[in-house]
Structure 1
Amino acid sequence: MTDPYEILGVAKNASADDIQKAYRRLAKKHHPDLNPGDKSAEEKFKDVTAAYDLLGDAEKRGRYDRGEIDASGAEKPQRRYYRDFAESGQAGGRGFEQGYADFGDEDILSEIFGRRGANVKMRGGDVRYHLAVDFLSAVNGAKPQLSLPDGSEITVTIPAGTRDGQTLRLKGKGRPGYNGGEPGDALIEIEVRPHPFFTREDDNIRIELPISLAEAVLGGKVKTPTPSGDVLLNIPKGANSGTVLRLKGKGVAKAGGGQGDQYVTLKVMLPEKPDPELEEFIARWSKAKAYDPRRAMEV
């Protein structure tokens, strides 16, 4: 994989905000929904997403910059020994249990506990993972695969409505127990990637929808994206930029049941190229129907 900094087009000292802005810009440009059938755009979108997965995570970015992991996030597992663990001052109680999860050597444990160590049962330690998922996967739910350090994979069920930073627990998927003890759990911290169009506020979704001058003046039904698919939104006559319309029940699944709403902010867009006919019409119209949109500002 190419250097993620090069893929996003940012300097190595770029701020986290600059990295996110670069990702949003490129993700929107190459998003498969905006480039149907374009395999090149689809591959670029995947590369941009993978680059952001690494650089958008402060810990991963630091490890990449220090050369501890490569551009794909691959690394060599670090083996800890009891001497290192004992020197950390954690040799006892719950801390030791977690420490066992790091080195997991039965002969070392037997030595620690003495000749009777073989009779001691101990629960395996919990293992923490980080999993980045798409915005829509978090909103709608998904079942992605998570690759483990030993090369195996586990399926992670992402419940609909999962939030950024939320931790999911997979019971029994952690380190094996010692001497017949139960295994620990896998704790999956979820990172939700930003979406090119949607943003989330609690259980509601917000989106800015461009509309034409004709749609703003005459009104009508306009196809509008939602996390669950496109719907027809009724634009009232005389709509302005900044007008907010609500799509009830098109937001995020609530923990106690029900759905949030989607709020659509309209943005009137003129043609990309100047239109002489439109200019002529507006010039005639404005002379006969002049009005001051800034009257309330007293300027």
Structure 2
Amino acid sequence: MRNPYDVLGVPRTADAAAIKGAFRKLAKKLHPDANKDDPKSAKRFAEVNTAYEILGDEKKRKAFDRGEIDAEGKPRFHGFEGFGGHPGGFPGGGAGAGPGGAHFESFSFGPEGFRRAGGAGAGGPRGFGGFEDLLKDVFGGAAAGRRGGFAGGSHFEPEDLHPQPPGRDVEVAVTISLAEAAQGGTRRVHLPTGKEVEVKIPPGLADGQQIRLKGQGLPGPGAVGDALITVSIAPHPVFERDGANLRLDLPVTLYEAVLGGKVRVPTLDGAVELAIPPGTSSGRTFRLKGKGLPAKGGPGDLLASVRIVLPPEGDPELDDLMRHWRDARPYDPRRDLT
């Protein structure tokens, strides 16, 4: 996975608005619905979504910048800090300890398990005397307890190093598009067991919901675990989820807002026509019934909020009209704010 800043094409100093703008531009360009004949675009779209999941979240972005998570959002392993507070060392000075009576002990492994070749003070607080406790920490107390511990001549059984729990579950994270969440579909998922399975995505799946695949986990002595597929829904370049409802900003021209007219509004099922009444102000919200996401109580709605957009280039005639209007028909839309 590439650096998320490189994926979105923004510098590390970019603010949240610049990151969101870059994501929306790329997501709209690479969305699978607009690139059905280009299989590479789906991979790039997923990469862009993953990058935005990190950089669009303030906490995750800071964690990535500090090197705490990688480009996929997974925690990085920074290594051990050493034993006894000395990086790379052992308790009380251990291997390579300096002056002050520190000593080395050697260990061998044979039919009788681990054996200590005693140096002076073997088992003492300095040197390598805490080896039994170290093994207990690493492998768990059960590994030592089954044989009465490591002290007193008891031995360490190699088969206890990797105990097999009965039927362990495995977890996999999958990101789907908003359209897949609404309409359902199938996804091929690679499991930690090495298997590749086809997962059915039911319509109306919520963000963070899990799908359980029985018997697709790790085997144990008497059972096989399950695979738990945690589903995340990727941000959409146009729609924002609000429970079962969807929201979008609907750009309209100045003359459409003043005079009214019919405009095309995108939905997950295709575009529909919406009648804008004359004198519509920016911010007015229209509800399109049943055009949201599937839900138990019935589908949600699409909430389209009007945003008046002026011409991209200046217009002298419009400027003259506005000056005349300002002087002849002044009004104060902010009178209720004072």
TM-score with structure 2 length normalisation? 0.62
* 1:157-183 deviations in Å (ceiling 9; x for gaps): 2222222222221122212343xx442
**In structure 2, distance between residues paired with 1:240 and 1:269:** 11
**In structure 1, distance between residues paired with 2:163 and 2:33:** 60
- Structure 1: tracts of 5 or more residues without a match: 69-82, 92-106, 114-121
Asked if residue 139 in structure 1 is aligned to residue 182 in structure 2, the reply is yes
Q: Return closer, same or farther for 1:198/1:276 CA change in 2, 3 Å cut-off.
A: same
**In structure 2, distance between residues paired with 1:155 and 1:34:** 21
Q: Return closer, same or farther for 1:212/1:51 CA change in 2, 3 Å cut-off.
A: closer
**In structure 2, distance between residues paired with 1:9 and 1:148:** 31
Report the 3-state secondary structure (helix = DSSP H, G, I; strand = E; otherwise coil) of the residue aligned with 1:157. strand
Q: Return closer, same or farther for 1:288/1:224 CA change in 2, 3 Å cut-off.
A: same
Q: Which of 114, 134, 139 is the equivalent residue of 1:87? A: 139
Asked if residue 208 in structure 1 is aligned to residue 205 in structure 2, the reply is no
**In structure 2, distance between residues paired with 1:283 and 1:11:** 42
Q: Which of 241, 245, 269 is the equivalent residue of 2:282? A: 241
Displacement after TM superposition at 1:285 (Å): 3.6
Asked if residue 47 in structure 1 is aligned to residue 99 in structure 2, the reply is no
**In structure 2, distance between residues paired with 1:153 and 1:212:** 50
**In structure 2, distance between residues paired with 1:231 and 1:270:** 23
* 1:110-145 deviations in Å (ceiling 9; x for gaps): x979xxxxxxxx852111011111222223322121
Asked if residue 294 in structure 1 is aligned to residue 334 in structure 2, the reply is yes
Displacement after TM superposition at 1:227 (Å): 2.1
- The 5 Å alignment of 1:35-114 reads 46-47=43-44, 49-53=46-50, 56=53, 61=71, 63=74, 87-89=139-141, 108=159
In proportion to residue count, which structure has more helix?
Answer: 1
* 1:196-249 deviations in Å (ceiling 9; x for gaps): 111111111111111111111111221111222211112121111110110111
2:29: which partner in 1?
30
* 1:37-72 deviations in Å (ceiling 9; x for gaps): 997xx967743531542673666545486699xxxx
Report if the CA contact (8 A) 1:140-1:228 is conserved.
no
Report if the CA contact (8 A) 1:9-1:22 is conserved.
no
Report the 3-state secondary structure (helix = DSSP H, G, I; strand = E; otherwise coil) of the residue aligned with 1:272. coil
- Structure 2: tracts of 5 or more residues without a match: 55-59, 61-68, 80-134, 144-157
**In structure 2, distance between residues paired with 1:154 and 1:253:** 26
Q: Return closer, same or farther for 1:112/1:6 CA change in 2, 3 Å cut-off.
A: closer
TM-score with structure 1 length normalisation? 0.69
2:102: which partner in 1?
none
Corresponding letter in the other structure for 1:161: G
Corresponding letter in the other structure for 1:281: L
1:96: which partner in 2?
none
Report if the CA contact (8 A) 1:54-1:60 is conserved.
no
1:157: which partner in 2?
200
* 1:247-293 deviations in Å (ceiling 9; x for gaps): 11111111x24111111110000001001122223333443333222
**In structure 2, distance between residues paired with 1:21 and 1:46:** 20
**In structure 1, distance between residues paired with 2:224 and 2:137:** 20
**In structure 2, distance between residues paired with 1:197 and 1:281:** 33
- The 5 Å alignment of 1:172-211 reads 172-178=215-221, 181-211=222-252
Q: Return closer, same or farther for 1:162/1:18 CA change in 2, 3 Å cut-off.
A: farther
**In structure 1, distance between residues paired with 2:45 and 2:70:** 16
Asked if residue 258 in structure 1 is aligned to residue 257 in structure 2, the reply is no
**In structure 2, distance between residues paired with 1:216 and 1:90:** 73
Report the 3-state secondary structure (helix = DSSP H, G, I; strand = E; otherwise coil) of the residue aligned with 1:21. helix
**In structure 1, distance between residues paired with 2:45 and 2:78:** 20
CA RMSD of the aligned region, Å?
3.9
Report if the CA contact (8 A) 1:217-1:238 is conserved.
yes
State percent identity of aligned pairs.
37
| Larger Rg, first or second structure (1 or 2) | 2
